[in-house]
C-alpha cells in the first residue's frame, strides 16, 4: 500500500515545466506527494499551448516535441489515436499540443494514488518553516519540504513610451496572450509593437478583409521559417566569443543550410553561454540577440506562407525604428517613432495598438507579487544580467548572500541567465527530469 506521509513537493506553475517535473517526481518515488499550484484555469498547457486558434502552430516539428527524452515517439503515438489528427504536416496546432499535455496530466492523476493535488490559486508569498517552506496562496497556506518555481515566462514587457491614459484605454492591448479578437470591433489599422513570434500570432489571429497592420521593431527583422523538410545535419563546432562565433556561423552558411548550422549551434548553446564571461554575454545581448532570435525561433512553413502573403498584399508592413511615444488622441492611437538610421520622427494614427514586445526580460521589474516577495526576502536574487534568477548548475536559486536556498528550486525560463536556451520543449524536458531526480534523492537539499 502506498504511503501517504512521504515528502511533499509544491510546484508553483502548472505549465509544461511544472507538469513534467511533477510527473517525473511521482514516477520516481511512490512516497513523494506533489501539489501543483496554478493561477490560470487550466492545468498543463500553460499560456503557450492554451489556444484554440488553428493558426497558432508549434514552432518545432512534432518529432522533437515528445515530453520525454527517452520516449521520442510519445507525442506521435498519442496523435495517431486522435480522430481529428490527419498527419499532413509536421507542425501541429499548439492547442492540440495542449491537449497532449492534459492527457499526460490525466495519466499522472490516475496513477498517483492520491499523491497529486491540483490547487487553482495564486501564489503570493514564500517563507521558511523549519526545514521546509510555506507558500501563502489565495486559497490558503501550502506547506512543503521542497518548492519548485516553474513560473514560465515573465509577464509581457511594457513599453515605457506609452502614455498613462492610453495604457488604460480600449485602443491599447497590453497583454497579447489574452487577446480577444471579438472585442476589437471594426478596427481597421493596427500597430503591432514588436515583430517577433508574438506579433505573428497577433497578426494571424486578427487578420480579416480590409484590416491593415504595421509591425514596428528596432531592427525590423521577422522570424525566419523552417524548411519544408529537415536539412542534413551540420557537424561543425563553434568556439570563442560572440563575434567569433557568429563569424563561424556566417562562414558555415556559405556551404550549409543555415537552419542546420543554427540547429547545431543551439545544441552547443549552453556550453557556449556558460563559457562566456559577463562582458561577452552582455555584448551578445546588445548586438547579436536580434539575429539569434529570428533564426533560432522560427515559423512553421504554413505560418511563414501566411505572413508572406500578408506582406505581399500590403496587409502587413514592417518598419524598423525606435518607438518614441504612444498617446491617446480623439479615441485613436497616435504613434511616434524614429526610423532606423534616421533622426527625424515619423507619426502615424491607428485604431488599435498591441504590445507584442514579448516577455519581460528584467526580473527586478516584474509586478508579480510572488516574485517580488522572493526577491524582497532574499530567498532568491536576480542573475547578473537580470534575465531571471541566479541559480547554480543544478538550478537551485542563490539567496541574497550567494548561497543555495535549501529545498528551493527553479526550472524553465527563470534560469535563462545561467543556461540561456531554456524555453523550448527539447530543453525544458531534460531540465525537468534532471531536477525531479535531484529532488527525489533529497527533497530538502
Answer yes or no: do 203 and 307 share one domain: yes
Is 127 inside a domain boundary?
A: yes
**CA gap 413, 416 in Å, rounded:** 5
Answer yes or no: do 110 and 249 share one domain: no
What integer pLDDT is reported at residue 124 of this predicted model? 97
Answer yes or no: do 50 and 197 share one domain: no
Answer yes or no: do 203 and 151 share one domain: no
**CA gap 58, 433 in Å, rounded:** 22
pLDDT band at 99 (very low <50, low <70, confident <90, very high): very high
Answer yes or no: do 317 and 287 share one domain: no
Cell numbers describing residue 94: 499548439
What integer pLDDT is reported at residue 1 of this predicted model? 29
Which among 274, 296, 318 is the end of a domain? 296
Each residue of 392-427: pLDDT tens digit? 988 899 999 999 999 999 999 999 999 998 888 988
- Give the DSSP H or E segment for 320: strand 316-329
What integer pLDDT is reported at residue 426 of this predicted model? 87
Answer yes or no: do 203 and 257 share one domain: no
Average pLDDT over every residue of 11-34: 96
What integer pLDDT is reported at residue 4 of this predicted model? 55
328 pLDDT exceeds 80? yes
Is 198 inside a domain boundary?
A: yes
Structural domains of the chain, count: 3
Average pLDDT over every residue of 347-375: 95
Each residue of 64-98: pLDDT tens digit? 899 998 999 999 999 999 987 766 578 999 999 99
Q: Which domain holds residue 247?
A: 242-296
Each residue of 218-237: pLDDT tens digit? 999 999 999 998 899 999 99
Each residue of 136-188: pLDDT tens digit? 999 999 999 999 999 999 998 888 888 888 988 989 999 888 777 776 778 89
Answer yes or no: do 184 and 270 share one domain: no
Is 132 inside a domain boundary?
A: yes
Is 232 inside a domain boundary?
A: no
What integer pLDDT is reported at residue 88 of this predicted model? 59
Answer yes or no: do 249 and 205 share one domain: no
Cα angle for residues 234, 235, 239 (degrees, 5° grid):
105
Which has the minimum average pLDDT: 119-128, 235-244, 308-317?
A: 235-244
Is 3 inside a domain boundary?
A: no
Task: Confirm if 390 and 405 have CB atoms less than 8 A apart.
Answer: no
Cell numbers describing residue 225: 521559417
| 3-state DSSP of 381-434 | CECCCCCCECECCCCCEECCCCCECCCEEECHHHHHHHHCCCCCHHHHHHHHHH
Answer yes or no: do 14 and 93 share one domain: yes
265 pLDDT exceeds 50? yes
Answer yes or no: do 87 and 213 share one domain: no
- Single pTM value for the model: 0.92
Answer yes or no: do 134 and 50 share one domain: yes
The sign of the CA dihedral 436, 373, 129, 119 is negative
Identify the three-state secondary structure at position 35: strand
pLDDT band at 2 (very low <50, low <70, confident <90, very high): very low
Q: Which of 323, 327, 322 is nearest to 163 (CA)?
A: 327
Which among 355, 385, 401 is the end of a domain? 355
Is 38 inside a domain boundary?
A: yes
Helix ranges, 276-300 (H):
278-287, 289-296
More confident of the two residues 172 and 6: 172
Which among 327, 355, 383 is the end of a domain? 355
Is 234 inside a domain boundary?
A: no
Each residue of 102-147: pLDDT tens digit? 999 999 999 998 999 999 999 999 999 999 999 999 999 999 999 9
Task: Confirm if 261 and 269 have CB atoms less than 8 A apart.
Answer: no
* Percentage of residues of the chain with pLDDT beyond 70: 98
Amino acid at each position: 500500500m502506498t504511503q501517504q506521509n512521504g515528502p511533499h513537493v509544491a510546484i508553483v506553475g502548472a505549465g509544461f515545466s511544472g507538469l513534467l517535473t511533477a510527473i517525473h517526481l511521482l514516477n520516481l518515488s511512490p512516497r513523494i506527494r506533489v501539489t501543483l499550484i496554478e493561477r490560470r484555469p487550466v492545468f498543463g498547457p500553460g499560456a503557450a499551448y492554451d489556444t484554440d486558434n488553428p493558426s497558432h502552430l508549434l514552432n518545432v516539428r512534432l518529432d522533437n516535441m515528445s515530453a520525454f527524452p527517452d520516449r521520442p515517439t510519445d507525442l506521435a503515438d498519442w496523435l495517431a489515436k486522435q480522430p481529428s489528427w490527419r498527419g499532413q504536416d509536421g507542425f501541429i496546432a499548439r492547442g492540440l499540443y495542449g491537449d497532449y499535455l492534459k492527457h499526460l496530466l490525466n495519466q499522472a492523476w490516475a496513477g498517483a494514488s492520491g499523491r497529486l493535488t491540483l490547487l487553482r490559486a495564486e501564489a503570493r508569498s514564500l517563507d521558511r518553516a523549519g526545514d521546509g517552506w510555506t507558500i501563502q496562496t489565495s486559497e490558503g497556506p501550502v506547506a512543503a519540504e521542497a518548492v519548485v518555481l516553474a513560473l514560465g515566462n515573465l509577464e509581457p514587457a511594457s513599453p515605457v513610451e506609452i502614455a498613462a491614459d492610453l495604457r488604460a484605454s480600449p485602443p491599447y492591448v497590453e497583454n497579447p496572450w489574452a487577446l480577444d479578437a471579438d472585442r476589437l470591433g471594426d478596427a481597421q489599422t493596427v500597430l503591432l509593437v514588436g515583430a517577433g513570434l508574438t506579433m505573428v500570432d497577433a497578426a494571424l489571429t486578427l487578420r480579416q478583409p480590409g484590416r491593415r497592420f504595421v509591425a514596428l521593431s528596432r531592427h525590423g527583422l521577422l522570424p525566419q521559417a523552417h524548411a519544408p523538410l529537415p536539412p542534413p545535419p551540420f557537424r561543425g563546432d563553434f568556439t570563442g566569443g560572440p563575434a567569433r562565433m557568429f563569424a563561424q556561423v556566417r562562414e558555415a552558411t556559405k556551404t550549409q543550410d543555415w537552419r542546420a548550422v543554427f540547429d547545431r549551434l543551439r545544441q552547443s548553446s549552453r556550453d557556449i553561454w556558460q563559457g562566456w564571461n559577463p562582458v561577452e554575454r552582455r555584448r551578445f545581448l546588445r548586438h547579436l540577440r536580434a539575429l539569434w532570435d529570428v533564426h533560432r525561433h522560427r515559423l512553421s512553413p504554413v505560418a511563414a506562407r501566411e505572413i508572406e502573403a500578408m506582406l505581399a498584399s500590403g496587409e502587413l508592413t514592417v518598419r524598423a525604428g525606435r518607438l518614441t511615444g504612444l498617446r491617446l488622441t480623439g479615441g485613436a492611437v497616435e504613434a511616434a517613432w524614429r526610423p532606423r538610421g534616421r533622426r527625424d520622427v515619423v507619426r502615424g494614427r491607428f485604431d488599435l495598438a498591441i504590445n507584442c514586445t514579448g516577455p519581460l526580460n528584467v526580473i527586478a521589474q516584474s509586478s508579480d507579487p510572488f516574485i517580488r516577495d522572493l526577491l524582497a526576502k532574499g530567498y532568491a536574487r536576480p542573475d547578473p544580467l537580470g534575465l531571471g534568477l541566479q541559480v547554480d548548475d543544478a538550478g537551485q536559486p542563490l539567496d541574497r548572500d550567494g548561497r543555495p536556498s535549501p529545498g528551493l528550486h527553479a526550472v524553465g525560463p527563470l534560469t535563462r541567465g545561467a543556461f540561456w536556451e531554456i524555453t523550448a520543449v527539447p530543453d525544458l524536458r531534460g531540465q525537468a527530469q534532471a531536477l525531479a531526480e535531484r529532488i527525489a534523492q533529497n527533497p530538502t537539499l
